[in-house]
């Protein structure tokens, strides 16, 4: 069995097949998710919260991301692997390239993800020029939680919605091949998904995105603290984690998740 590539993920958008994405941080979960039809992993800096117990993603370092990414790659055979560049690891193009190289060479990632819009164009450009696939992240950007004043829905007013759309278009023009949209109105998620040619993965961005991602711990109902509106526990009424993962994948593929009650207006 060969691992999916970014071309396979792009083909899914073109064919109208929804893309099922979950986070992964270790080999055992990676194997289980891989066996149950997940299309892509995000080895997320969310590990700072769900694995390390911090109250944000900000303490996560490059060594953490390399370590967890390598674990996930060793535990999987088919699933496409995207790994986050953590907070303050891409402040200059040179630093961005060096750290992205670590995620690819040491961590085994097939794509790196960074947060931010037009301020990241130089970083995206240097990665693309060095043949490193890039995933963007717009809307709620967890690494900017202090600037945003907390975990709040973004893009609800006309001005901020237009800015997110403009950022998305600029990132695509710079060469990103995938984009995550977090915590934005479903109408904006739909607009961006229809406007851009690259696949759009939503988390709290409405059912009309090309795919959906959840933190695996949220999907299984084992995360602590506040639950975001878009979170659904797929382990409810299931007798195994395998069944819960299959239920998530099926719900995404059939456009049954997110339902209106998981979406923002």
Residues serving a catalytic function are 182
Angle at 186 between CA 20 and CA 252, to 5 degrees: 20
DSSP 184-216: -BHHHHHHHHHH-SS-EEEESS-TTSSEEEE-H
Closest CA to 235 of 256, 220, 218, 215: 220
**Both tokens of residue 93?**
């193009």
User: Which segments of the chain does DSSP mark as H helices, in order?
Assistant: 6-15, 27-35, 47-50, 62-75, 93-105, 121-129, 145-148, 158-174, 186-195, 216-219, 241-253
* C-alpha atoms less than 13 angstroms from C-alpha of 254 in its C-beta half-sphere: 8
**Both tokens of residue 119?**
């301020």
**Sign of the C-alpha dihedral, residues 81, 133, 19, 191?**
positive
Region for 11 from its dihedrals, namely left if φ exceeds 0, alpha if ψ lies in -120 to 50, beta otherwise: alpha
Q: Give the CA distances from residue 238 to residues 16, 31, 110, 203, 246, in Å, rounded to whole numbers and listed in that order.
A: 28, 19, 32, 23, 10
Q: How many CB atoms lie within 10 A of CB 156?
A: 14
Contact between 154 and 132 under an 8 Å Cβ cutoff? The reply is: no
């Amino acid at each position: 069995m060969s691992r999916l590539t970014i071309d396979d993920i792009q083909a899914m958008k073109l064919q109208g097949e929804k893309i099922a994405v979950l986070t992964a941080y270790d080999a055992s979960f990676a194997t289980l998710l891989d066996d149950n039809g997940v299309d892509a992993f995000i080895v997320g800096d969310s590990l700072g919260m769900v694995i390390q117990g911090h109250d944000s993603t900000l303490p996560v370092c490059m060594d953490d991301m390399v370590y967890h990414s390598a674990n996930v790659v060793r535990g999987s055979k088919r699933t496409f692997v995207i790994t986050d560049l953590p907070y303050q690891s891409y402040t200059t193009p040179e630093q961005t390239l060096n750290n992205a190289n670590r995620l690819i060479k040491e961590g085994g990632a097939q794509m790196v993800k960074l947060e931010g819009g037009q301020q990241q164009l130089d970083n995206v450009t240097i990665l693309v020029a060095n043949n490193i696939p890039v995933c963007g992240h717009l809307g709620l950007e967890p690494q900017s939680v202090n600037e945003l004043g907390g975990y709040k829905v973004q893009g609800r007013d006309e001005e901020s919605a237009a800015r997110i759309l403009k950022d998305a278009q600029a990132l695509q023009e710079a060469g990103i091949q995938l984009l995550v949209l977090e915590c934005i109105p479903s109408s904006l998620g739909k607009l961006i998904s229809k406007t851009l040619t690259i696949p759009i993965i939503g988390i709290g961005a409405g059912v009309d995105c090309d795919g959906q991602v959840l933190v695996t711990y949220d999907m299984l109902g084992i995360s602590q603290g506040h639950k975001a509106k878009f979170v659904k526990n797929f382990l409810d009424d299931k007798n195994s984690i395998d069944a819960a993962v299959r239920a998530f994948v099926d719900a995404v593929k059939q456009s049954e998740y997110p339902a209106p009650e998981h979406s923002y207006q």
